[in-house]
Amino acid sequence: MGTDFGYRGERLGLPKEGPGSAAPLGRRFGALFVDWALCMLIAYGLLADDPQSASNYAIGVLLLMNILTVGTVGSTIGKRLFGLRVISEGRDRLGLGWAVVRSVLLCLAVPALIWDRDGRGLHDRLGRAVQVRI
């Protein structure tokens, strides 16, 4: 009680507000919702013969989309719409290898539900990634 932990992202050297600051949780959830909806649409429309198998395909589509987009341009379609980007802890573009680690953990869901005081999910922390505002 009474301990000042500072603002989210301070320990990572991120600014308090504006571009480059830690992404707020609401925007992150919104971006994930858009990405998931897009993956479900692709799975229902292109891959699945029956609706029950579509969710299995959607997880694979989400995994592939995250690896390709985060590993190359730094953001998924949902993240771009919400003004977010994924960078490495060193503030460079996240490498493809770390994007794979982060994406696999994101698709497991449990690591994404555990956060540190900077607002990073366990999938971001283990993938050495930070989600920031553009």
52-65 per-position pLDDT tens digit: 778 888 899 999 99
What is the Cα–Cα distance from 111 to 105, expressed in whole angstroms?
6
User: Which residues form the domain of 116?
Assistant: 14-133
**CA distances from residue 51 to 1, 44, 98 in whole angstroms, order as listed:** 50, 7, 32
Q: What is the pLDDT of residue 65?
A: 96
Residue 81: exposure state from Cβ atoms within 10 A (0-12, 13-18, ≥19): middle
* 1 confidence band (pLDDT: 50, 70, 90): low
Residues 15-25 have pLDDT tens digits of 999 999 999 98
pLDDT computed for residue 68 by the predictor? 95
Question: Is residue 95 one of the residues assigned to a domain?
Answer: yes
Domain presence at residue 8 = no
- Does residue 120 sit within a domain? yes
Q: Report the amino acid identity of residue 22.
A: A
The predicted model gives 70-87 an average pLDDT of: 96
Listed in sequence order, the DSSP H helices in 9-130 are 25-42, 51-72, 77-81, 96-108, 122-126
The pLDDT, as a whole number, for residue 44 is: 87
7 in a domain, yes or no? no
Residue 105 counted as domain residue:
yes
pLDDT at 48: 66
What is the rounded CA–CA span in Å between residue 122 and residue 134? 22
How far apart are alpha carbons 82 and 94 in whole angstroms? 19
Q: What digits encode the pLDDT tens for the residues 81-119?
A: 999 999 998 878 899 999 999 999 999 887 778 888 888
Residue 2 located in a structural domain? no
> Could you say which DSSP state residue 63 is in?
H
pTM of the model: 0.87
Looking at the structure of the chain, the number of domains it has is 1
Single-letter code of the amino acid located at 69? T
Please tell me the predicted confidence (pLDDT) of residue 6: 82
Within a domain: residue 6?
no
- 41 lies in a domain? yes
